[in-house]
Amino acid sequence: MSAPNITWHHGLVRPEERESLLGQRGAVIWLTGLSGAGKSTIARHLELLLVQSRCFAYVLDGDNLRHGLNADLGFSTQDRSENIRRVGSVAQLFSDAGVLCITAFISPFREDRAQARALVDEGRFIEVFVDTPLALCEARDPKGLYRRARAGEIAHFTGISSPYEAPENPEVHLHTRDQTPEESARQLLDALGSLRVLPPA
């Protein structure tokens, strides 16, 4: 349902004032990949590297948001899209506030990711493909979910019973097979510098 009785309120703080306060501009750093690919771990290491560089970063984590904002959603295709729609909206708010907002969600569908991208300014949405082969994710199986999905105990499991649509042209492509999460995070940090998402050192 749309809400007809509303008008947009612009703030009194100019974006330049916010930038000057924080010494940075906001952006969304959107990690996508299979369950067990290492998204959350890489996101947490990147957050730490950024904060240690005096940048203001914050992680929106798939599992954590399932405890709060998205606790009412399940794992059907429709609910997964709504999950990502809400995350995209929240990431947009953080980015608007000037934060480097790192999101760590499987976000398997291209269309959902494209909608999240459309919410922020050109150049402020960095899609990061955390590219870990399915076989490796399944071998790791940190939460035992692949085993349960193979046993038919979990429906709509990405990579097993639900598709993962890999990014076709991500801003950053992390081949994690031969990297530690710390190494992946450092590669991502370097890429953010090249993409001019980070303020000049």
Binding to a copy of itself by residue 12, rule CB under 8 A? yes
Binding to a copy of itself by residue 117, rule CB under 8 A? no
By three-state DSSP, how is residue 127 classified? strand
- For residues 57 and 48, what is the distance between their CA atoms, to the nearest angstrom? 8
Phi, psi of 22 (to 5 degrees): -95, -20
Binding to a copy of itself by residue 111, rule CB under 8 A? no
Binding to a copy of itself by residue 13, rule CB under 8 A? yes
Distance of CA 186 to the CA centre of its chain: 17
Is residue 32 within 8 A of residue 39, CB to CB? The reply is yes
- For residues 94 and 57, what is the distance between their CA atoms, to the nearest angstrom? 9
- With CB under 8 A as the contact rule, the residue among 19, 73, 81, 173 that binds a copy of itself is 73
Q: How many chain residues interact with a copy of itself (CB under 8 A)?
A: 55
Using CB under 8 A, which residues numbered 18 to 57 contact a copy of itself? 18, 21-22, 40, 44-45, 47-48, 51, 54, 56
Identify the bridge partners of residue 29 per DSSP, sorted by sequence position: 102, 126
User: How many residues are present in the chain?
Assistant: 201
Catalytic machinery residues: 107
Residues contributing to the site for a copy of itself (CB under 8 A): 1-3, 5-9, 11-13, 17-18, 21-22, 40, 44-45, 47-48, 51, 54, 56, 58-61, 63-64, 66-75, 79, 82, 86, 89-90, 92-94, 96-99, 119, 143, 145, 154
